[in-house]
Chains A and B, each alone.
Chain A
Amino acid sequence: MIYIFYFLFFGFLLTAIIGLLASWIDRKVTAKVQYRVGPPLLQPLIDIVKLLGKETLIPAGSSKITFLMAPVIGLASVILVSTLLWINNIYPAKSFLGDLIVVLYLLVIPSISIIIGGFASRNPLASLGASREMKLILSYELPFILAILVTVIKSGFTFRLGEILTFQAQNGAFVRSWSGTLALIVAIICMQAKLALVPFDIPEAETEIVGGPLIEYSGSGLAIYRLMKNMLMFTVPFFLIIVFIGGLRLDGIHLLYGVLKYIGLVALMTVIRNTNPRVRIDQAVKFFWGPMTIIAIIAIILALLGR
């Protein structure tokens, strides 16, 4: 029973609330940078509620079940991964062997659900966006996994998130070492691509392919995708906080530190997204397989040397 509570309360409700709030902060800061007013606090929620009430159109010739299931699969995996992260964060001892790998796998599924939805909608622009998303996953996953590997090496080759957390609680966060800092930089840039934010919003590129895979979605399907993206805005930074910056502690003054860590990451994302134009897909692949992978490998070597 307790797991269902975690699943519903932490995994879904809390993550959704923080995610919507983060998306509001992102939009508000962006608006301020651009001399605009920006949306009111509840706007992200209002958007989703409004979309849920709209008619869901299914394009003729699309594969119906896949088209409708894709957003649900994406949302389900985000809820599952955030539940796992919350349980590990609150009770590090409840960690099971290899949950780090499970989390890495589950974090890819939202992107895959977007690919499936895009191909299922049978629109040339959606297919183009889906193929770009596929190339993007192939490009950023390698440096992302290498960066996460640094934490595995530094915590004495453990694949349990809980043990990584307890190790950091005893010996200080990994980000304080050279290898940890380098790996975190790589991971943050990969996070930008995972969340499909500028400069890596290539799959959705509004001005090139008009939203890409989401072009045919309307009503509740689009609402679920929006919610999924907003929740990812909490889940992925939360994962990085757990593996690099010592997790979020919910007692006393540590809660404030935790909030600051998270807001710092969101602010960094917003700054990157507002000071860059969009890159092309081939440039993104070159960027991730070239400099990013090399930095990640340097971080691994440093970690093996104990720095």
Chain B
Amino acid sequence: MEKTIIPIGPYHPLQEEPEFFMLTVEGEKVVDIEVRIGYNHRGIEKLSEMKSFDQSTFLIERICGICSTSHPFAYTRAVEDIIPVEVPERAKYIRTIIAEGERIHSHLLWLGLAGHFLGYNTVYMWVWKLREEILDVMEILTGNRNSYAMFKPGGIRRDIKSEDIPVVIKKMDSIVSTLEMLKKAVIDDPVIHARTKGIGILSKEDAINYCALGPTARASGVARDVRKDSPYGAYDKIEWDMIVTHNGDVFDKLVVRILEVFESIKIIKNCFLNLPGGEIDANIKDIPPGEGIGFIEAPRGECFHYVKSDGTNRPVRHKVRAPTFMNLPTCKATIIGEYISDATIILAAIDPCYCCTERMTVCNTKRKKIYTGKDLIKLSREKTEILRNKMGVK
């Protein structure tokens, strides 16, 4: 049969970020896939090396709007790894609360988008309405709906007011009841079963070989979670379960994410019940020369930061590795042999986040002319001159 190339991207009405999947199809069956990312490179690592350790936290938060806690969390842990400093207990609990709140809103965002990809727009709208409530909770706790600016090396910037806690717990309970209803509507729907069960299977071996992370790996039966494997924050002090399923298809990834939202709500409530008093900041003065790594479980998997200091107030090297970087190649194992109708939901099932991922771009410089900054300015000036002449402006 003749092979056709179906492009998804770089600018596709479905996707909110620029990325390019080149699907080779025979009829309706996908036989090959080529992924190209790098359209969203912003040079964050370089920028971070030009800012002080304290300013970097705000920059790192802007790597991604959805993971705006995961990156600062991993970064602060990397900085705290350079100086052996003990973070106050209260700060650890509050960090955990914020991180789990982010996990809830990120998973709900994905669930809504998954509904949209399947053509189930009612679920899309309902879930996103529920997500608003979580964002309200985050606004009560931190003052912001997103990009909370709560983290700093050595502690947190803002304390939680004790009068807010009952309000937040009450809101969490109302979210649980709505979520139960949604869970029934999504997990028990026969048409959703037909569309997602047995689709895009990532076997356990493939998950291990591709180094899949987070919910993508846990849906394939790989019990891999930084929160359990090397606990940080308050995760070792409270009760919670890791959700692991074994089929590795889109449905299992969906189930893992929905059940993790319930776990996150449980963690937040437990944290509030056991919230200790005391300081919230260790007051770090200066950072000695050395290297540090920080890794935490972001909503999509392990987020890893490496910071190197030379004793000045700036990092000399800051490396970021987002979970999507590891999860994206698994689509090679999942998508080949599936129908083109399922392609979008399979690609979306890893919950990709490209703006987190894009750290560098490799260009093929052999073929075409390379434009330097000077050339571009020259081109721009020439064009302005042409436009001026056209419009008659002196």
* CA–CA, A296 and B343, complex, Å: 34
Can you list 19 A-B contacts (CB < 8 A)? A34-B124, A34-B125, A34-B126, A124-B6, A128-B6, A128-B28, A206-B14, A207-B119, A209-B340, A274-B122, A276-B191, A277-B115, A277-B123, A277-B192, A278-B195, A279-B194, A279-B195, A281-B339, A283-B195
Contact A35-B194, Cβ < 8 Å, known A198-B119, A274-B122, A277-B120: no
Total contacting residues, chain B, CB less than 8 A: 31
| Chain B residues in 8 Å Cβ range of A35 | 125-126, 129
Checking A124, A125, A280 against B341 with a beta-carbon cut-off of 8 angstroms, the contacting residue is: A280
User: Does B189 sit at the interface, judged by CB under 8 A?
Assistant: yes
User: Does B116 sit at the interface, judged by CB under 8 A?
Assistant: yes
Total contacting residues, chain A, CB less than 8 A: 28
Q: Mark B118-134, 1 if CB is under 8 A from A, else 0.
A: 11111111100100000
| Chain B residues in 8 Å Cβ range of A277 | 115, 118-120, 123, 189, 191-192, 195
User: How far does the Cβ of B255 sit from chain A's closest Cβ, in whole Å?
Assistant: 16
- Please state if A205 and B122 are interface contacts (CB–CB under 8 Å): no
User: Does B281 sit at the interface, judged by CB under 8 A?
Assistant: no
Q: Mark A79-99, 1 if CB is under 8 A from B, else 0.
A: 000000000000000000000
| Chain A residues in 8 Å Cβ range of B6 | 124-125, 128
Task: Name the CB-closest residue of B to A211.
Answer: B13
| Chain A residues in 8 Å Cβ range of B174 | none
User: Does A199 sit at the interface, judged by CB under 8 A?
Assistant: yes
User: How far does the Cβ of B320 sit from chain A's closest Cβ, in whole Å?
Assistant: 30
User: How far does the Cβ of A282 sit from chain B's closest Cβ, in whole Å?
Assistant: 7
| Chain B residues in 8 Å Cβ range of A33 | 122
* CA–CA, A36 and B129, complex, Å: 10
| Chain B residues in 8 Å Cβ range of A47 | none
- Please state if A280 and B116 are interface contacts (CB–CB under 8 Å): no
| Chain A residues in 8 Å Cβ range of B191 | 199, 276-277, 279
User: Does A170 sit at the interface, judged by CB under 8 A?
Assistant: no
| Chain A residues in 8 Å Cβ range of B125 | 34-36
User: Does A26 sit at the interface, judged by CB under 8 A?
Assistant: no
Question: Chain B interface secondary structure, helix, strand, loop or mixed?
Answer: helix
User: How far does the Cβ of A103 sit from chain B's closest Cβ, in whole Å?
Assistant: 30
Within 8 A of A (CB), among B323-343: 339-343
* CA–CA, A30 and B119, complex, Å: 13
Checking B14, B339, B344 against A282 with a beta-carbon cut-off of 8 angstroms, the contacting residue is: B339
Closest 6 CB pairs of A and B: A278-B119, A34-B125, A277-B120, A277-B118, A280-B341, A274-B122
| Chain A residues in 8 Å Cβ range of B342 | 280
Within 8 A of B (CB), among A195-224: 198-199, 201-202, 205-210
- Please state if B13 and A210 are interface contacts (CB–CB under 8 Å): yes
User: Does A171 sit at the interface, judged by CB under 8 A?
Assistant: no
Task: Name the CB-closest residue of A to B118.
Answer: A277
- Please state if A208 and B343 are interface contacts (CB–CB under 8 Å): yes
| Chain B residues in 8 Å Cβ range of A198 | 119-121
Q: A30-B121, A280-B194 are in contact. List 14 more A-B contacts (CB 8 A).
A: A34-B125, A124-B4, A124-B6, A198-B121, A207-B117, A207-B118, A210-B12, A276-B120, A277-B118, A277-B119, A277-B191, A280-B342, A281-B341, A282-B339
User: Does B5 sit at the interface, judged by CB under 8 A?
Assistant: yes
User: How far does the Cβ of B349 sit from chain A's closest Cβ, in whole Å?
Assistant: 14
User: How far does the Cβ of B174 sit from chain A's closest Cβ, in whole Å?
Assistant: 16
| Chain A residues in 8 Å Cβ range of B126 | 34-35
| Chain B residues in 8 Å Cβ range of A206 | 13-14, 119
Q: Mark B95-132, 1 if CB is under 8 A from A, else 0.
A: 00000000000000000000111111111111001000
* CA–CA, A30 and B340, complex, Å: 28
| Chain B residues in 8 Å Cβ range of A201 | 119
Task: Name the CB-closest residue of A to B4.
Answer: A124
Task: Name the CB-closest residue of A to B339.
Answer: A280
Task: Name the CB-closest residue of B to A31.
Answer: B125
Within 8 A of A (CB), among B192-216: 192, 194-195
Contact A207-B28, Cβ < 8 Å, known A33-B122, A34-B126, A280-B341: no
